[in-house]
Amino acid sequence: MTSFSAFWRLTGAGWALVRADALIPREAEPLLPPAAKLAGRVLRLFAGSAAKRGRPGERLARVLEKQGPAAIKLGQFLSTRADIFGSAFAEDLSHLKDRLPAFPLAVARAEIARNLGKPLDEIFAEIGEPVAAASLAQAHPATLVDGRKVAVKVLRPDVERQVARDTAVLRLTARLAETLAPASRRLRPTEFVEVVIRALELEMDLRFEAAGCAELGEAMAKDAYMSAPSVCWEGVGKRVLTLTWAEGAPLSDPAALTLPGLDRKALAENVTRGFLAQALDHGLFHADLHEGNLFVAAPASVTAVDYGIVGRLGPGERRYLAEILYGFLNRDYARIAQVHFDAGYVPAHQDKDAFAQALRAVGEPVFGRNARDVSMGRLLAQLFEITALFDMALRPELVLLQKTMVTVEGVARRIDPTHDLWAAADPVVRRWIGRELSPAAKVRDFAEEALRALRAIARLAEASPPATTEVHIERSHVWPLLWFLVGAATAGAAFVTGLLLSR
């Protein structure tokens, strides 16, 4: 798609928002500063008949639905934050999660057969009408020839071309933001957009999703917080994915929260803890945990589907995340500030004590208060002000993590309006800290570093014969030397252990 075509499409999307009064809606006018009020009134001079139909969320949803997959995903994200935008607005956008118009069953059957390269009756005994349709694909209930009930996910026809058009518009938007709004460069719009585009590209190959589901399913099985369906590999292709049927009701259905015997408090905690356990303990997490991808059953069972976006964290990011959360749990703002500086999240020239003071200003008003009494919109605005004040740039490697954390909290608070994110996170974070930063863990890390060094010495000794020098060490002497070093490392580890445990 050319830059001109992308610009024309972006302009068309903006015009559609203006015509529907969905950009600066009239209903929001009492909450806006004078400049924004004036801008809204000017834009409404160009509004069309669509601006008179429905609430702001309904008008925005109609526009986003016509703009393509990337815009729909934005709507899905906004719909998870009823605590910020209001329950009516979130509900008006909620159909974008899994209730979009579906394409015909005959088209889906033909695509499944073509993609799997064999007749349908060799794999499936039955394939039913679609039960859910989202921005990129739709899901069909089916039965395998061996009798197992499954869900078959099929990409929408021509969705790859639509995503390619969206990516061109996203890149253009990022470039315009950096050019026209220099202050936005701190948020690295271009790098942020590239992370989003890469996630969309991976979602276009359902074989990757199958692998992500299998990998995350193994990780989830180690805790009882969340579970994943099993992959039916005989029904997997680039545009087709077959998983065992997820029991329970989709959380996108408002009736799901009225199931008999449902423990909403425990359910919300399982959503939060399930995500944190994935990220901290395993370094990978489901990065699209909106209500349309969660199935629930009494009393507090959660099954996640749609593994098209899987986030990953390296050992360093996992440790920084755990220590930041642990610092908030203990209200240790000086430690939180130190971790931010150690990680490079805050530039070194900034004042560490002032940053700790700013964190205290955000954290203290939240602790001990009922979640209903905390304005998430105001809290997020304050956090954004702090990032600007201390010149904090967006971290592309953390984009999926941050986006998922915001989504997860929104989902959990919709399940249980009194949900306390910090109380829910406490056992998972303390477990990680106890395991990874305990004296025994430090000794383990020391021993692993020593062994890595010894292996490197051994490879060097095996790979290159000693040159003729004044000091000549026979190869037969290397292994006794290595064993001596191993013994020394072991003795040192034992000494460190005793020293730490005696404190």
Selected catalytic residue, list 21, 166, 288, 306: 288
288 as an active site residue: the answer is yes
d(CA 68, CA 9): 11
Distances (CA, A) of 305 to 151, 268, 452, 492: 10, 17, 39, 48
Phi and psi angles of residue 135, each rounded to the nearest 5 degrees, phi first: -70, -35
d(CA 421, CA 19): 39
d(CA 444, CA 253): 48
d(CA 264, CA 276): 19
Contact 428, 270 (CB under 8 A): no
d(CA 319, CA 442): 13
Contact 149, 156 (CB under 8 A): no
Q: Which residue has tokens 């470039």?
A: 175
DSSP state at residue 278: I
Strands 137-144 and 132-133: antiparallel
Nearest to 63 by CA among 92, 41, 85, 88: 92
Active site residues: 288
